Structure 1
């Protein structure tokens, strides 16, 4: 039997051929400069394999010629216009190769990425190949990492295409095309006629793009509207000596926090002073405590943590993770799952990390008995495991090395134990007012030894005993001011988009890049932190739509979220 295997990218096709053939394959050039065909026998299924690839989506979705001219139709007619689906002009050579190979194959096996987008690309491949060979059988290979066990298992146990995911992507493409094209034409033409500076600009609109911009503008407006408020609080400190050691000053926090009414704060302060008593220890509580190790890594968490800790743009982080996945160093980097399968083989992956000079010793300890199963999160997309290293990569440099190191350390931290500590809380009373102080002794660092991105430090208190009384070393009524909120960072924006269902784990980064590329948002460095600031155009677009006062705001996430729910129900009904 002759099997035609089609991957989503040329690099993955080569890796699949390398694994399945054991390195013994023949290579043929195609009419596309990017694509090669790899041929070999695969005795496990008694088949002859040809492995080839596409380069992402094959098809274009667009309106017919009568709707191509921006001035030739009412933009709102695009909501009912028919959509034509054709092979993209720059993908004709790839289409030709697929059809030539499909004519001499009995089975088509689709090896695209195992997510919704990959499922839809697989359907496009299926459509092109069926045009050349209507009787070709179609199967789907499912895998989460480009490693030999998973690739062989996928080849020997193929499944069916998931048409519910295909329909879901088709609905989303149609929705985004109609809304995006109609509103982009409408606002571009309207604004170009009024503002000469925009004559050469396309003022684009997107159903995910605008709520993303809306978050940035909303935070900017909060910062601009902020006015600091003065508050007052009682500052209390006590000096205590332990044995023959030096005195240590302990600052106690006022249980009331702070008050915005100066007269009431002054009255409480004077009342406390008038009682002429010392600081009395009313309660000492000691307890064991833990700092939990991190959950297994999802795509959204990788983008948030990478932006915050590594100072890299979310899209760059995903691009690097994708490259490391194609090289066989990481599992599939687009996943919503933060729990590992009960049968997951941790030990073989931990063992591979023992070669590293920085964290190899920690991995060795895990392998020799310190291992503890990772925590289970609440999310499971039933498609891919959490992101984890699949092989040791010792020769990486630059940002590739930093991203790999973060993933590797995160995985080892997940496989370790929680950090253990001993916490002390001392409660005191002074003049009828209550205060407290908290101390910590770290007993076992555990996962913290391999995961420097989390901090948990000793803050040891002197030994206080209930009923003891001390003279305060300081007791003052002090004032302070509320601080304005920060502008959004990319990590903040990723978190807001994820919570509000704007974009997917794989497209969130692209939407952020789009509003920056369109110059709706400008990146501004303050110290070592990069903040997102809306441009005048970005502010004008959001505030303009808000002033129209639609029933559902175009700049808020609710509209997009409700549309996605409707389409999900429609796809479920279709099935």
Structure 2
């Protein structure tokens, strides 16, 4: 799917022609080998670099970096955006002094949106959004920032990206690169990588400049496009449908969907339903109490608890019979309470929520401010391991200034080995754990509380574990085991600075092994199992991280979304409770069979995005894979939408019925095939006027490919069968039902055919053009999809050079026949010589005209008189059906069987013996007998044939209407008692006639009686001919040939017009072709 940047008048010079594809290589145009560590080696013409444009992600970051690089001597001036200043100063870079212009953006500079026809909610069916074109554009509130970049970059020779060093920051960096390269294509680009805004970190970043990483940016592009397509399609579907189904509850409510927010909602609903379905059970246990002086010690039962009352009662009574406790063991061992791991983003969000009661969204907002002001390191990190090259001593020393925890920081510096962090197991290879970078005592409110937490956590993790001594006492009462434990803390260590953990001393009396005592009380108590608690925000974040939903930087955003949409609420103790709408949506989608509230789909996407960012998977393959996966789920969800209504009804009231017209508008048409012009799906849609349908491309109005079905087609629908021939697969077959009387009698009124081009029968009947790639549209120049389908094209006016649209006879089950030969040849000619209708050797030519047959060879009459034509690559298939694929799946035409068990009987389309009826209705045919299908009216195949026209073959003719395996028909030569196969029929559109001699008479094997009717034929005499090599498939061609060759009378009109015709072509079974004036 191509993604383009949108040209808009407000963008000034614009960013025309820059797209995501270009962005993948733009950085490579500006720098050299990425493996070289020294940035100076990657820069062309270093001496020419006089001015450097640096762009940070936020103005605070730009100011902080400028302050460090300039030692506080920068000059500030205004940019075009009042929120994004320009800081100018001198800096020593690449061994020379350069002028640095440092400015900033405000997050993403460009947005992603559907192109104009698809932006409005009612502009198209939501399913089309999976394939609709999208574009990068600059939002109105970013235009001034963009203009600043375009203006400043013109005077610079180098661009350095100083955005945050994560996926989003890398993608923002490439948006900056796109804008700048649109103005100055040859600008050189480098990337500064840093984790904190401190002097050491910034100077190190200047010394290790590298190339921007397009792979990391690609992962964001994929995520953005998928989020847009998935979110927009499901949101429009849900909102537009449910607002009509529940107008009183949801009339003005946006019912959004997101591939991350829905699994997040699913966790809340799942926990709530677990509580609802929980059945408490009563349990029983024995408790022993022992009072020594003022202390009461409780001994717990080693069996813990029993759910059988009788069993517990028996054991209790045994203990009461001999209630003396014997001390069996006294064990004393050292005990440690581990200091916390280094702080990553997820842990910071969870602990801030639990300990500080600050939401994850507010936590990330505050942390971002602290980072840009230089108080802490980068707050979006998955790492909980301090790298060995990070000097922790200076960071701890910075905190000795504090009057609150300064003394503890000094203890850490003085402890053996100095700061000694407890290391975790996670690293994103980009940023260290979150830690303070400088001391501050002026922060207030939540900023001060979060900063204090980060400092205390850092000092605790580089300190030492708390130490204690634990004593465990085991006793025996009537062979039942009980135990208790006590704790003596010997060294608090990290607990002195980390009040967020609790570890208290528990004192117990001194017991000696082997001693006995009388318990103060032995009790049998009962209790009940309790359900799990509702999720807290920390619990929810932990589940999201465990199942791979979102990233450390987006967890808070997804949680906030389900809260703002009223899918969930908060209890008084800040636990999540699902709302009625949230419950109904999750239950509705789960009842469809697609567990869309489960994390599986999104977790797979997140894993693929990681592989894209690492260069292990291709961006476009991942994008298309997940688009098709979610599109399939979406289509099935729409078809099962009533389950959504049923799930929401208990919460929102009775569902209202949607009028049938609106229901049809909301249905998602299933794809029939791919459009040969643009590659999108082609679907069946209802005509704006009438009840018919047409096949159209979903890319309308950009693509106007369409196929209009004539009025003779009463019904058309998608069949589940797939055409094995047409490409690109899958191409679904169509079920068609024709108007009675609109087809020749031998054709069934209902059959299944392929619209892909391989069914020549269907193409002839419907007078359709084959959908070839690169063409200009379907039959009649129809249009594609749109909010209102265009009117069908008007009927074609009769044309003197228009070929009549006569269908070939359908394929039937063949009788055993000798294989047909290619063409008849003279006795003296070579066996490979092609002879035309004149009996002369045909001329071999090559198609020169542009088109699908360009370069193809064919034969034609050397003298140009007989109209002979034959493709050179089909000499062995003359007379066979020239279908481009599998034969059309239709029922057998009616036929009279000969030389079989049913000899002489008429067979219907079902291949069963037809029954004979008599016309009872008053009229010219009253009393006339006819054959019809013997099944019930609902199951009849539509077969009809007058009994007096069912004439069996005569003489030595070996079977009436017998088709070959490829649809070919054979003529037989009658020479006495022996029959030999004659030449097969010619290709469609041509007929051969030669002077027939009495001893060499040819009789065509035509179907039992069929009549083709034409109008406008200027012939005034009764004519009868015995054509040679004319099959039933070419009867119409015989008439065409007769006009031009035999009578020299030219047909002016050949349009099929039924009863208004003035002449007819009558073909008797096995008999001659007769032209009769009506």
Q: Bin the TM-score by the shorter chain.
A: over 0.9
From 1, 4, 8, give the equivalent of 2:57. 8
Residues 145 and 328 of structure 1 are in contact (CA less than 8 Å); yes or no, is this contact kept in structure 2? yes
> Could you give the per-residue CA deviations for residues 217-261 of structure 1, whole angstroms, max 9, x where no partner exists?
111112222332211000112234xxxxx3532111101111111
> Could you give the per-residue CA deviations for residues 52-107 of structure 1, whole angstroms, max 9, x where no partner exists?
00010011111111212222212111111121111222211111111111111111
> Could you give the per-residue CA deviations for residues 487-537 of structure 1, whole angstroms, max 9, x where no partner exists?
111111111111111111011001111111111111221xxx311111111
The Cα of 1:568 is off from its aligned counterpart by 3.8
Specify the alignment match of 1:324 in structure 2: 370
Specify the alignment match of 2:67 in structure 1: 18
Residues 413 and 419 of structure 2 are in contact (CA less than 8 Å); yes or no, is this contact kept in structure 1? no
Specify the alignment match of 2:521 in structure 1: 474
2:603 corresponds to 1:557:
no
The Cα of 1:174 is off from its aligned counterpart by 1.1
2:72 corresponds to 1:72:
no
2:102 corresponds to 1:51:
yes
2:346 corresponds to 1:300:
yes
Specify the alignment match of 2:90 in structure 1: 41
From 277, 284, 289, give the equivalent of 1:232. 284
Specify the alignment match of 1:543 in structure 2: 587
The Cα of 1:200 is off from its aligned counterpart by 1.3
The Cα of 1:160 is off from its aligned counterpart by 1.1
Residues 392 and 419 of structure 2 are in contact (CA less than 8 Å); yes or no, is this contact kept in structure 1? no
Specify the alignment match of 2:466 in structure 1: 419
The Cα of 1:195 is off from its aligned counterpart by 1.1
> Could you give the per-residue CA deviations for residues 268-288 of structure 1, whole angstroms, max 9, x where no partner exists?
2122223x2510111111111
From 389, 399, 403, give the equivalent of 1:353. 399
Specify the alignment match of 1:344 in structure 2: 390
| TM-score under structure 1 length normalisation | 0.96
From 368, 374, 388, give the equivalent of 2:414. 368
The Cα of 1:111 is off from its aligned counterpart by 0.3
> Could you give the per-residue CA deviations for residues 402-457 of structure 1, whole angstroms, max 9, x where no partner exists?
10010000000011100001011111111111111111100000000000100111
From 330, 333, 343, give the equivalent of 1:287. 333
From 305, 311, 320, give the equivalent of 1:264. 311
Specify the alignment match of 2:237 in structure 1: 186
2:145 corresponds to 1:94:
yes
2:358 corresponds to 1:312:
yes
Residues 64 and 197 of structure 2 are in contact (CA less than 8 Å); yes or no, is this contact kept in structure 1? yes
2-structure distance, mates of 1:195, 1:99: 50
1-structure distance, mates of 2:347, 2:288: 40
From 533, 537, 553, give the equivalent of 2:577. 533
The Cα of 1:567 is off from its aligned counterpart by 4.0
Aligned to 1:43, the other structure's residue is in SS state strand
Aligned to 1:348, the other structure's residue is in SS state helix
Specify the alignment match of 2:499 in structure 1: 452
The Cα of 1:17 is off from its aligned counterpart by 1.0
Aligned to 2:616, the other structure's residue is in SS state helix
From 471, 476, 484, give the equivalent of 1:429. 476
1-structure distance, mates of 2:146, 2:496: 52
Gap runs ≥5 in structure 2: 1-48, 620-1078
Specify the alignment match of 1:161 in structure 2: 212
2:548 corresponds to 1:512:
no
2:193 corresponds to 1:149:
no
Gap runs ≥5 in structure 1: 241-245
From 516, 541, 548, give the equivalent of 1:494. 541
2-structure distance, mates of 1:313, 1:366: 31
Question: Which structure has greater helix proportion?
Answer: 1
Specify the alignment match of 1:31 in structure 2: 80
Aligned to 1:573, the other structure's residue is in SS state coil
Specify the alignment match of 2:672 in structure 1: none
Call closer, same or farther: CA 1:128–1:324 in 2, change over 3 Å: same
2-structure distance, mates of 1:93, 1:78: 30
2-structure distance, mates of 1:282, 1:485: 37
Residues 164 and 572 of structure 1 are in contact (CA less than 8 Å); yes or no, is this contact kept in structure 2? no
| TM-score under structure 2 length normalisation | 0.52
5 Å-filtered alignment, 1:115-134, equals 115-134=166-185
Aligned to 1:179, the other structure's residue is in SS state helix
Specify the alignment match of 1:407 in structure 2: 454
Residues 42 and 49 of structure 1 are in contact (CA less than 8 Å); yes or no, is this contact kept in structure 2? yes
The Cα of 1:162 is off from its aligned counterpart by 1.4
The Cα of 1:372 is off from its aligned counterpart by 4.0
2:324 corresponds to 1:278:
yes
Tell which deviates more after alignment, 6-15 or 37-46: 37-46
The Cα of 1:316 is off from its aligned counterpart by 0.4
The Cα of 1:44 is off from its aligned counterpart by 4.5
2-structure distance, mates of 1:84, 1:572: 26
1-structure distance, mates of 2:152, 2:553: 31
The Cα of 1:367 is off from its aligned counterpart by 1.9
Aligned to 2:415, the other structure's residue is in SS state helix
2-structure distance, mates of 1:372, 1:120: 37
Aligned to 1:134, the other structure's residue is in SS state coil
Aligned to 1:56, the other structure's residue is in SS state coil
Residues 7 and 54 of structure 1 are in contact (CA less than 8 Å); yes or no, is this contact kept in structure 2? yes
Tell which deviates more after alignment, 371-380 or 180-189: 371-380
Residues 423 and 440 of structure 1 are in contact (CA less than 8 Å); yes or no, is this contact kept in structure 2? yes
Specify the alignment match of 2:786 in structure 1: none
1-structure distance, mates of 2:108, 2:579: 33
From 159, 162, 176, give the equivalent of 1:111. 162
1-structure distance, mates of 2:495, 2:610: 41
2-structure distance, mates of 1:310, 1:523: 17
RMSD: 1.3
Tell which deviates more after alignment, 279-288 or 154-163: 154-163
> Could you give the per-residue CA deviations for residues 332-355 of structure 1, whole angstroms, max 9, x where no partner exists?
111000010112211111111111
Residues 118 and 129 of structure 2 are in contact (CA less than 8 Å); yes or no, is this contact kept in structure 1? yes
Residues 238 and 255 of structure 2 are in contact (CA less than 8 Å); yes or no, is this contact kept in structure 1? yes
1-structure distance, mates of 2:309, 2:575: 35
Aligned to 2:380, the other structure's residue is in SS state coil
Aligned to 2:617, the other structure's residue is in SS state helix
Call closer, same or farther: CA 1:277–1:202 in 2, change over 3 Å: closer
1-structure distance, mates of 2:527, 2:585: 37
2-structure distance, mates of 1:53, 1:277: 79
Residues 522 and 532 of structure 1 are in contact (CA less than 8 Å); yes or no, is this contact kept in structure 2? yes
1-structure distance, mates of 2:370, 2:274: 40
2-structure distance, mates of 1:358, 1:542: 49
Specify the alignment match of 1:390 in structure 2: 437
Specify the alignment match of 1:205 in structure 2: 257
Aligned to 2:571, the other structure's residue is in SS state strand
The Cα of 1:569 is off from its aligned counterpart by 4.0
Aligned to 1:530, the other structure's residue is in SS state coil
Aligned to 1:562, the other structure's residue is in SS state helix
Residues 293 and 416 of structure 1 are in contact (CA less than 8 Å); yes or no, is this contact kept in structure 2? yes
1-structure distance, mates of 2:445, 2:323: 62
From 605, 617, 627, give the equivalent of 1:573. 617
Aligned to 1:486, the other structure's residue is in SS state coil
